Each structure stands twice: as structure tokens, then as C-alpha cells.
Amino acid sequence: MSNISIYQSKIGKIPLFIGIEEALLDSILEHSRIVYLDKHAEIFSQGERTTKFYIVLDGLIKLFKMDANGAEAVLQIAKPGDNLLETIIFKNSLIPISAQVIENTTLLVIPADRMRQYIKHNEKLAANMLEVMADRSRQFISHFEQLSLKSVSQRVGWFLLKLFIENGKANTVKLPYDKLLIASYLGMKPETFSRTLQDFKRRGIDIQKDVVNLPTVFSLCDYCDIETASNCNKHGTPACPNPDCI
Amino acid sequence: MSNISIYQSKIGKIPLFIGIEEALLDSILEHSRIVYLDKHAEIFSQGERTTKFYIVLDGLIKLFKMDANGAEAVLQIAKPGDNLLETIIFKNSLIPISAQVIENTTLLVIPADRMRQYIKHNEKLAANMLEVMADRSRQFISHFEQLSLKSVSQRVGWFLLKLFIENGKANTVKLPYDKLLIASYLGMKPETFSRTLQDFKRRGIDIQKDVVNLPTVFSLCDYCDIETASNCNKHGTPACPNPDCI
DNA sequence: CGCTAGATTGAGGTCAATCAACGGGTGTGG
DNA sequence: CCACACCCGTTGATTGACCTCAATCTAGCG
């Protein structure tokens, strides 16, 4: 309950809270907690019960499924502004996934039943929540497409392309996470990811350790999909090399 | 706009509309259309634009992604009560997936902007929509888990188990769709699915064409996951052979 | 009765996983 | 400051699960 005020400006920019009156935000903050967590910390684990809803204020979080053998599949890498366990708000079931801190993280922790009340009585907040969930759903579908009908190299190409598009204009990016994590997110083993990056090098893309350099901004456009395209500022303009991104 | 009244009772039982006042339902129906579609009909296709929101009243619909080579991955098999394109309501982007009729289908077609208005001004409807989307999200996660970290035979076992649990007590079920469709939903080729069913036969499960017969109700419990468990009436009782379904 | 679509079976191929060894940073402690 | 250990990533050789291709079978249906 400490110095929540520091985060007040930050919170107003979170997708879920955009356009929400100050008074409501204050009330939400008042009944929430801020939690700081170090790398490797476990936030929650599949099969547990919880009554909390989380919003990432800072850091990075790995959301994943783990099977009996310890193999894990990464579902999402949550960034500032993302929220966790929105499904829990609406149905009090067991947590379906695990969450672990990748980079030192600040979380806003809101009691689920309180959040449910806020949403119920504020139509703008409800609308925001629906939009956020719809967004997630679209990301899911895109991820699903990659995992189920793309080859390893297509998946790597898609991932790199997304990075460049998020990054704006530059044709240089740094891999934002460990290669192990990226590999898992892309549904492959680290060895396979490494080999695939070597293939990309051979095909003319400059990669030094974790820095990727494109010869041209369009080098990866073959790997575009609908979801990625919708985030690309060249999409729909004559500059886009494949307007009907398969 | 024809004889919508026939469907009035049906509509009240749809998850999205449970607990909604008659007056609102009437208004929704008044501004909707009922559409009948035969097998193989294409409802919409990835990359298109639409301003419509659909609810399945009858039939079966395949929701899938298709790549340039014609390979397809089935994301969901929509049943009566399910809705399609809820993401479209909240963000007017391109349709991310394709939908095709599997079994003769009756659809309730609602203009997206009207639906958006209804949700905005009716908190119960908004709450229902959130719950429905949260449900979908959990199903997604379960499906994702299967596709990314289970073997072919585990996926088949999981699918059969789900069938038996949905079906209630009986230890006999009939496969509800073509094997081709099931295979695609499980992320494998029909040949592989067929071979895997043969494996199950050898392991003591009786399978004749599309009828599956379990020696005991617990034969498939090894293939349970959290989401499946939450739909199992034995879960949490002493009768459940593996209480902490991996 | 033949046609067609769905399902099965067989043989062979392939892509990515596995297993194992190595390299190069980084941090720690002597 | 160096020696050692450790983690992450790379590289190589091999395996194996699933796919591919092609032939055959079956059942429904005109």
C-alpha cells in the first residue's frame, strides 16, 4: 500500500485503463498492492487457486505450460501494460498456466472480486476489458497459426519480422529475450533455433550474437501474417511488398 | 427477418444471453437475421472484412487457418451456443480465420455495431460476453498445451477422454466428426490419426469404425488436463484416479 | 452396379529432437 | 589477477516421430 502514487501516471496509460476517470483509478489503486519481483521468481503456477488479478507495470513475465517431464511451452511473454489471469475474474477456476519473472518486475495486484465489481459498474472499463481480451485472442490465433502450420524457419522469420515492426523504422534490432526463451515461444529447441539463425545468416541476414541486421527493411516480409500486418505501418500502402499477406 | 419467433426459446439458453430480459432479446432478434447454410458452405474467410457477429443456433462449423499450400489447421469446432467473430465486435480489423459449415447450420447474424451498443448499455450482457470470452481463452490454452507438448497418442487420448466426459456416464461414444477433421484439430495427418487409433485398439480399447468402447470409465484418465478435469464430474471426488491432473 | 469420398495400410523420407561435446563469456573465490 | 565453475549458446552425429506418397479398401449413394 506504499507509494502507489508514483505509478499513477503510468497506470493511466495502460490499455485496460485508458479513458477511465481519475476517481475510479484512484479507487482501484487504493485497493491494490504493488509487488516487486526478481528474475526467476514464480508468480503463480498451473493448478493453483487465486483470487487476484495482475497488471504488469514493469518487467517481463513468461507465461507457460509445463508437463510432467519438465518440458515447457511458452504461451505469452507479458510486457508492461499486459494483464494476467483475466480469465480468473470471470470464473473462479484453477489457474491454467504458470508465470515466472524474466526481468525484474513490478506488478499491480488487484483482488479479482473487486475488479469484477468495477467492471460491472463501469461500462468504459468493461469495454476496455473486452477489447484487451479480443486483442489477446487475435494474438493467440496468430501464434497458433505459426505453431501449427509453419516450418521452423518460417517461425523464426515471423518472430524477427515482428521485432522489426515493433521497433519502428530501424533495420537493426537486439533480441529482447534469451534465445532459450524465444525458442520455446516458437515451439522449438534452442539447438534448432541456433541452427536456424545460422541459416538466416547464410541467406544474407547479418546476425552477431543477439543483434540482427537486415540488408533491407523488406528482407523478412515473406514471413508476414494478418496479425503482424495489422501492426505494420507499411501495410495497405504501396510500399508493402505483399498486400495480401497470406 | 422471417419466422424468428421459432428460435426465441432457443436463444434464451445461449450462454451469451442467459439472464437477459425478454425485451432486450426481442430487440436483438428484431435486428438480426437467421441464415441457413448447407455443408461445405463458406461463412467467411481469413483476410476479409465484415461487420457481422454470428451465433450458432444449430449445426457445426469448422474454424481454421489455411496457408498458401492449402494445408489447414483447425482452431475450433463451433457448436450450437458458440459465437463467432467476437473479436470483430471490439476492433474492426481483418478477419483472422476462416469458417466453413461441417453440418447443416442455422446462424443468428447480428450487426456488429448494434451488438456493440447492446453490450455497452447492458451490464449483464457485457458480463456474459466477458465470461464467454474467458471460457474460449481457457479452451485455447488447453488446445495449445496439447499441440505443443503432447505426443500424437496423448493428443488422441485427450480428445477421446473429452468426448467421454462430455457424454456423461456411458463408456461408449461415437466420433462426432469426420476423422479428417478430428485429425486436423489435433494437429496431425489423417493417416497418423488412423494409425494411432489402431494403437489404442491394441492397448485394449475397442474401436469399431467410429464407435469407441472403453473397458472401464477410467481407461483414459491418464490423458486428463486441468481444463478437461474441470468438466469432469468425478474431479475432486475420491473416484478421480489422478487428482492433480498434470 | 459403379462412383466417389473417407478411411486404412504400407514403404520410404524428412525435419526437428536428442544426445553429447565444446566454446566463450561472466562471476566468484583464493 | 588468475583459476575454476557455471550458464548460455553453438556445433556435430544420430535417432525417431510423424509426414508423404501411393495403393487399397469400404461404405454410402445415385
Q: What confidence category does residue A7 fall into, taking pLDDT thresholds of 50, 70 and 90? A: confident
Nearest Cβ partner of B130 from A90, A138, A140? Answer: A90
Nucleotide C19: closest residue by CA–C1': A191
What does the pLDDT look like over B32-91, one tens digit per residue? 999 999 999 999 999 999 999 999 999 999 999 999 888 999 999 999 999 999 988 888
Distance from CA of A61 to the nearest CA of B (A): 17
More confident position, B145 or A217: B145
B230 and A CB contact within 8 Å = yes
Using the predicted structure, report yes or no on whether residue B2 has a pLDDT greater than 60.
no
Q: What is the CATH number of domain B2-147?
A: 2.60.120.10
What does the pLDDT look like over B178-215, one tens digit per residue? 999 999 999 999 999 999 999 999 999 999 999 999 99
Distances (CA, A) of B66 to A148, B9, B16, B40, B217: 10, 36, 29, 15, 37
Q: What is the CATH number of domain A150-229?
A: 1.10.10.10
Q: Looking at residues A39-55, what average pLDDT do you find?
A: 93
What share of chain A has pLDDT > 90, as a percent? 78
Q: What confidence category does residue A10 fall into, taking pLDDT thresholds of 50, 70 and 90? A: confident
- Mean pLDDT, rounded, of chain B: 92
Contact (CB<8Å) A187/B142: no
> Residue B1: what pLDDT?
44
For B192, the enclosing helix (H) or strand (E) is helix B190-202
Where are the domain boundaries for CATH 1.10.10.10 in chain B? Answer: 150-229
Contact (CB<8Å) B246/A90: no
What does the pLDDT look like over A102-159, one tens digit per residue? 999 999 999 999 999 999 999 999 999 999 999 999 999 999 999 999 999 999 999 9
Provide φ and ψ at B123, rounded to 5°.
Answer: -70, -30
For B75, the enclosing helix (H) or strand (E) is strand B72-78
Q: Which amino acid is at B93?
A: S
> Residue B246: what pLDDT?
60
Closest to B105 measured CA to CA, from B73, B62, B136, B47 = B62
Separation between Cα atoms, residue A90 and residue B128, nearest integer Å: 9
Distance from CA of B45 to the nearest CA of A (A): 12
Separation between Cα atoms, residue B110 and residue B95, nearest integer Å: 16
Q: What confidence category does residue B244 fall into, taking pLDDT thresholds of 50, 70 and 90? A: low
In this structure, are residues A181 and A74 in contact, taking their beta carbons and an 8 Å threshold? Answer: yes
Separation between Cα atoms, residue A151 and residue A182, nearest integer Å: 15
| Cβ-based contacts under 8 A for chains A and B | 140
Using the predicted structure, report yes or no on whether residue A35 has a pLDDT greater than 70.
yes
More confident position, B4 or A137: A137
Nearest CA in chain B to A140: B140
A189 and B CB contact within 8 Å = no
Nucleotide C16: closest residue by CA–C1': A192
Separation between Cα atoms, residue A20 and residue A12, nearest integer Å: 8
The DSSP secondary structure of chain A, one letter per residue, reads --SGGGGHHHHHTSGGGTT--HHHHHHHHHT-EEEEE-TT-EEE-TT----EEEEEEEEEEEEEEE-TTS-EEEEEEE-TT-EE-HHHHHS-----SEEEEEEEEEEEEEEHHHHHHHHHH-HHHHHHHHHHHHHHHHHHHHHHHHHHH--HHHHHHHHHHHHHHHH-S-SEEE-SS-HHHHHHHTTS-HHHHHHHHHHHHHTT-EEETTEEE-SSTTTTGGG--HHHHTT-TTTTSTT-S-TT--
Distance from CA of B3 to the nearest CA of A (A): 32
Using the predicted structure, report yes or no on whether residue A13 has a pLDDT greater than 70.
yes
Mutate which of B117, B120, B128, B145 to test chain A, going by most A C-beta atoms within 10 A? B145
DSSP for residue B218: T
> Residue B233: what pLDDT?
87
- Verdict on whether the full-model pTM lies above 0.85: yes
Q: Which amino acid is at B8?
A: Q
What does the pLDDT look like over A164-211, one tens digit per residue? 999 887 889 999 999 999 999 999 999 999 999 999 999 999 999 999
Contact (CB<8Å) B127/A119: yes
Mutate which of B16, B53, B65, B143 to test chain A, going by most A C-beta atoms within 10 A? B65
Where are the domain boundaries for CATH 2.60.120.10 in chain B? Answer: 2-147
In this structure, are residues B77 and B60 in contact, taking their beta carbons and an 8 Å threshold? Answer: yes
Q: What confidence category does residue A212 fall into, taking pLDDT thresholds of 50, 70 and 90? A: very high
Using the predicted structure, report yes or no on whether residue B173 has a pLDDT greater than 60.
yes
Mutate which of A45, A50, A53, A65 to test chain B, going by most B C-beta atoms within 10 A? A65
CA angle A216, A220, A223 (to 5 degrees): 165
Nearest CA in chain B to A187: B148
CA angle B141, B144, B150 (to 5 degrees): 125
